[in-house]
Amino acid sequence: MKILLVGSGGVGDALSRILARRFRARPFADAVVVADYDLARAERTVEAVRRREGAAATRAFSAARVDASDAASVEALAREVGATHVMNAVDPRFVMPIFTGALAAGADYLDMAMSLSRPHPEHPHSMTGVKLGDEQFALAQRWEDAGRLALVGIGVEPGLSDVLARYACEELFEEVTELGVRDGANLTVDGYDFAPSFSIWTTIEECLNPPVVWSDGGWSTLPPFSEPEVFDFPGGIGPVECVHVEHEEVLLMPRWLQADRVTFKYGLGEEFIGVLKTLRKLGLDRTEPIRVKGQEVSPRDVVAAALPDPATLGPLMKGATCAGVLVTGTGKGERFAGRPREVYLHHVVDNAWSMEEYGAQCVVWQTAVNPAVALELLADGRWSGAGVLGPEALPHRPFLDLLAADDGYASPWGLQERTPAS
């Protein structure tokens, strides 16, 4: 396996660190080329993993420059380095050039966020327009005909949440009423009143677009921040108000799993929601360039540039982050057969732990560990396929076991029984 990792921002840097650590025990790839538009940033990532993990674990790593907005640039670099797998670790506006560039180069492809949506032009808060991933799924036959795999949405959410949902559908429930992804944290950043722990570009996109829900056998939309609920997260996080947000799980899970309803709610908090609403009122969420003093600039890019880089916040962060899926329905097995059941399958990462172990803040580390697991499973054949597939299309047990095992990635997930609503 030869991996072309496109993007050395927060998640790409964390993924490099995770792979380098894993290569100490099991060097399952012959090469990892860390590529970025900013070559110096890619070189910093490679140097950082060498200092942290040593020469033996990182001899496969090198740096290169790539323009992720240009499919031809991605194809050319993938061919030059002999990539068997192109791993997309940049924000979703670059999905399609990397996706098509990988296919043209004859490589398999993985990403953690899917192609962008476009709201319905007339009824954005009730009907879907172009959905997340639609552009990728439109090319599924081309990938299948080429015998190549595009594994989409293999971060934490989407990604691990989808694998946990398949586990619930196959092993815990006879019938599923709802797959409800719930994400929350209690993170604080010293010295900042407002400092998102993940890409603000992506956060604006998913939080201000109309959220999609699956129910009654189809997809529909709601207004942003709909149906607030207080969700009690494990891992010492506690109650957090969550609202509907546009996210890939709602578009992926119904393709392979049976559930009456699929939702995604994110614990944003009142202050964060207020900031996002203000950005929209001021037009600062727009991606189309505007002319400022003779220069063409995207308002959203200006917002991102004015905020601290999430990859640099780790030393200032305190708390933990939790991702998971709340599953309700009719249980199976001797104890739960025929009875209402509700479980929260979850994964908690504490920032102090991820910083101590990897030098990466917990949100980007939690996102990055899952494609590392997937790449290892693809390398040894425990996962395989062709076409455009989501994580729930592949066997859940190898993934969950490798993620949690002490001789794997030593990052256990949990199952919390909850009292079903009457």
CATH of the domain at 356: 3.30.360.10
Query: Residue 359: exposed, middle, or buried by beta-carbon count in 10 A (0-12, 13-18, 19+)?
Result: middle
Q: pLDDT tens, 6-28?
A: 999 999 999 999 999 999 999 99
Given a cut of 70, is residue 313 above it in pLDDT?
A: yes
| Cα 281 to Cα 20: distance, rounded to the nearest angstrom | 44
Residues 201 and 338 in one domain: yes
Residues 222 and 111 in one domain: no
pLDDT of residue 378: 98
Q: How confident is the model at residue 368 (pLDDT cuts 50, 70, 90)?
A: very high
Q: Angle, to 10 degrees, between the axis of helix 200-208 and the axis of helix 299-306?
A: 130
| Cα 246 to Cα 244: distance, rounded to the nearest angstrom | 7
pLDDT of residue 422: 63
Q: Which residues contact 210 (CB under 8 A, 6 or more apart)?
A: 119, 120, 124, 125, 221, 222, 223, 224, 246
Instruction: Report residue 369 CA to chain centroid gap.
Output: 10
Residues 61 and 185 in one domain: no
Query: By the 8 A CB rule, do 162 and 392 touch?
Result: yes
pLDDT of residue 262: 98
Give the position of tokens 């709909």.
226
Average pLDDT over the chain, rounded to an integer: 94
Residues 299 and 399 in one domain: no
Q: pLDDT tens, 262-279?
A: 999 999 878 888 888 898
| Cα 337 to Cα 167: distance, rounded to the nearest angstrom | 16
| Cα 20 to Cα 369: distance, rounded to the nearest angstrom | 12
Q: pLDDT tens, 152-203?
A: 999 999 999 999 999 999 999 999 999 999 999 999 988 887 777 767 777 8
CA atoms within 13 A on the CB side of 103: 21
Residues 280 and 211 in one domain: yes
Mean pLDDT for the stretch of residues 236-262: 96
- Global confidence as pTM: 0.93
Residues 350 and 372 in one domain: no
Total structural domains within the chain: 2
Mean pLDDT for the stretch of residues 214-238: 95
Q: Which domain holds residue 57?
A: 2-155+366-404
